């Protein structure tokens, strides 16, 4: 059986999983691919480190350049993370004619345009299933399975840590800091959870999904991102009372005029919506195509084994591509270099929680400001519970453009009867 040489950059959690399972599931992989996937060289930061997998010392190097220069390596797998070194490695590998597999979502989101331009110039594909939603084959499904579809929308839960924290807050009535502490204690959140809880991990994945669906790279300054750090236990409870669960939701969809909207933020999802029942560290994506209609994909969005599953799938496809002589580029991102709809023009329903004085006439003042901006109220609740001398007032707002809603909230905030910063969240409609 022919061998395909693999150069593995990075032997952290995912790199170690890939090395281990290429050996452990070797028989089934060779049979199914028709080729043997042979790891010929592994680049690591510190050669001496004690690791969970034992690769022969002679294939380990601390210089990733050796992967690129080795003629026995046909596929380079970038699993070192970070931006600069990973970018150098991938660009050099493409220049050297190597097929590239990567799980680096931040890198693709920030420099995908340059990387894919280089790949197209060299006629070499890049595979990146592990960059989005762990083991769920969502890249392959959108790029290949739905190739005949105009993608109308993607609504997705893409960050397992945030979803775990929000699930904890919902199920155990915890506030954010306590739920985060528990997630860290149970290994579902990093010591530094910044990128998870501030929404940017999900935003990087959303940018990659949008590039597949719409053929252009949304700039990191074009996607509206908010994290779950500001979500209050109160909001989780009030949302529940109104028939919603709060999820960190990524939305990517085409609008009239073929503009694309992309935003990631805590969102009230109606309880009967299938995404509302996705709990814990799981990821889920609802993809709507003009032919296929609504589809749902669900699975583990992170972890060594699921991510390894995706990297091995990419390695198989890369190996088959290489073995075919690398003639057909295959499944190219299409050529529509589109535009984003500015977030100000995106319409949605909203959840607005105010802290107001406990006196008659307050709702009238709030409703009057909303009315003057042509914004309609769908429902109002005044839950029990004083906060000092203020009480909560919660409104669900009909669809309105985001800029108009923000302006109205500024007006409401300046009312004398409003005692604290209003809490504004999106509602999935």
Active site members = 205
- Contact between 320 and a copy of itself per CB under 8 A: yes
Nearer to a copy of itself among residue 37 and residue 396 (C-beta)? 37
Task: Identify the burial level of 142 via C-beta atoms within 10 angstroms of its C-beta, where 0-12 means exposed, 13-18 middle and 19 or more buried.
Answer: buried
What is the β-pairing status of strands 260-270 and 244-254?
Answer: antiparallel
Helix, strand, coil percentages, rounded to 5, for the chain:
40, 25, 35
- Contact between 324 and a copy of itself per CB under 8 A: yes
Window 48-67: contact mask with a copy of itself (x via CB under 8 A): --------------------
- Contact between 31 and a copy of itself per CB under 8 A: yes
- Contact between 290 and a copy of itself per CB under 8 A: yes
- Contact between 191 and a copy of itself per CB under 8 A: no
Q: Which helix (H) or strand (E) element contains residue 392? A: strand 390-401
C-beta separation of 250 from 154 below 8 A? yes
Nearer to a copy of itself among residue 146 and residue 188 (C-beta)? 146
Minimum distance, C-beta of residue 332 to a copy of itself, in the bound complex (Å): 5
- Contact between 147 and a copy of itself per CB under 8 A: yes
Q: Which of 330, 371, 376, 385 binds a copy of itself (CB under 8 A)?
A: 330
Instruction: Give the whole-angstrom CA distance, residue 408 versus residue 418.
Output: 13
User: Which residues make Cβ contacts (< 8 Å) with residue 364, sequence separation at least 6?
Assistant: none
- Contact between 338 and a copy of itself per CB under 8 A: no
From 94-102, 224-232, 253-261, 307-315, span contacting a copy of itself (CB under 8 A): 307-315
Minimum distance, C-beta of residue 263 to a copy of itself, in the bound complex (Å): 24
- Contact between 317 and a copy of itself per CB under 8 A: yes
CA distances from 235 to 225, 267, 422 (A): 19, 11, 11
Structure token pair of residue 331:
């499944």
Q: How many residues sit in the footprint of a copy of itself (CB under 8 A)? A: 65
Minimum distance, C-beta of residue 249 to a copy of itself, in the bound complex (Å): 18
Nearest one of 375, 363, 382 to 400, comparing CA atoms: 375
Nearer to a copy of itself among residue 290 and residue 358 (C-beta)? 290
Could you give the count of Cα atoms lying within 13 Å of 245 in the half-sphere of its Cβ? 23
Nearer to a copy of itself among residue 247 and residue 265 (C-beta)? 247
CA distances from 256 to 211, 346, 347, 426 (A): 18, 11, 12, 20
User: Which residues make Cβ contacts (< 8 Å) with residue 317, sequence separation at least 6?
Assistant: 127, 140
Instruction: List contacts with a copy of itself (CB under 8 A).
Output: 21-22, 25, 28-29, 31-34, 129, 134-137, 140-141, 143-150, 215, 274, 277, 289-300, 303, 305-306, 308-310, 312-313, 316-317, 320-321, 323-336
């Amino acid at each position: 059986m022919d061998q395909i040489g693999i150069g593995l950059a990075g032997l952290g959690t995912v790199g170690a999983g890939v090395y281990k399972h290429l050996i452990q599931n070797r028989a089934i992989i060779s049979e199914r691919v028709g080729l043997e996937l042979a790891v010929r060289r592994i680049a690591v930061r510190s050669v001496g480190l004690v690791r969970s997998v034992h690769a022969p010392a002679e294939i380990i190097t601390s210089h990733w350049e050796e992967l690129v220069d080795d003629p026995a390596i046909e596929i380079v797998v970038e699993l070192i993370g970070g931006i600069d070194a990973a970018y150098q490695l991938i660009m050099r590998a493409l220049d050297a004619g190597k097929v590239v597999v990567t799980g680096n979502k931040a890198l693709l989101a920030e420099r995908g345009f340059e990387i894919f331009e280089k790949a197209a110039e060299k006629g070499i594909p890049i595979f990146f299933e592990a960059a989005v939603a762990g083991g769920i084959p969502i890249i392959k499904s959108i790029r290949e399975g739905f190739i005949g579809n105009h993608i109308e929308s993607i609504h997705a839960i893409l960050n397992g840590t945030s979803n775990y924290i929000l699930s904890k807050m919902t199920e155990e009535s915890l506030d954010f800091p306590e739920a985060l502490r528990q997630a860290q204690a149970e290994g579902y959140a990093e010591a530094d959870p910044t990128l998870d809880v501030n929404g940017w991990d999900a935003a990087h994945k959303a940018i990659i999904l949008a590039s597949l669906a719409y053929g252009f790279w949304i700039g990191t300054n074009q996607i509206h991102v908010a994290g779950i750090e500001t979500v209050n236990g109160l909001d989780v409870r009030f949302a529940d009372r109104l028939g919603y669960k709060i999820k960190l939701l990524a939305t990517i969809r085409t609008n009239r005029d073929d503009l694309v909207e992309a935003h990631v933020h805590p969102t009230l999802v109606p309880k009967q919506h299938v995404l509302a029942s996705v709990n814990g560290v799981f990821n889920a994506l609802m993809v709507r195509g003009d032919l296929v209609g609504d589809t749902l994909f669900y699975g583990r969005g992170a972890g060594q084994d699921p991510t390894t599953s995706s990297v091995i799938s990419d390695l198989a496809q890369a190996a088959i591509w290489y073995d075919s002589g690398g003639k057909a580029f295959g499944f190219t991102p299409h050529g529509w270099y589109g535009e984003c709809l500015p977030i100000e023009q995106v319409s949605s329903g909203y959840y607005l929680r105010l802290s107001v004085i406990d006196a008659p006439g307050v709702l009238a003042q709030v409703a009057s400001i909303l009315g003057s901006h042509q914004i309609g109220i769908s429902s109002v609740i005044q839950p029990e519970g004083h906060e000092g001398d203020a009480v909560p007032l919660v409104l669900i707002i009909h669809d309105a453009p985001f800029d108009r809603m923000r302006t109205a909230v500024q007006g409401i905030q300046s009312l004398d009867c409003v005692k604290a910063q209003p809490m504004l969240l999106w509602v999935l409609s």
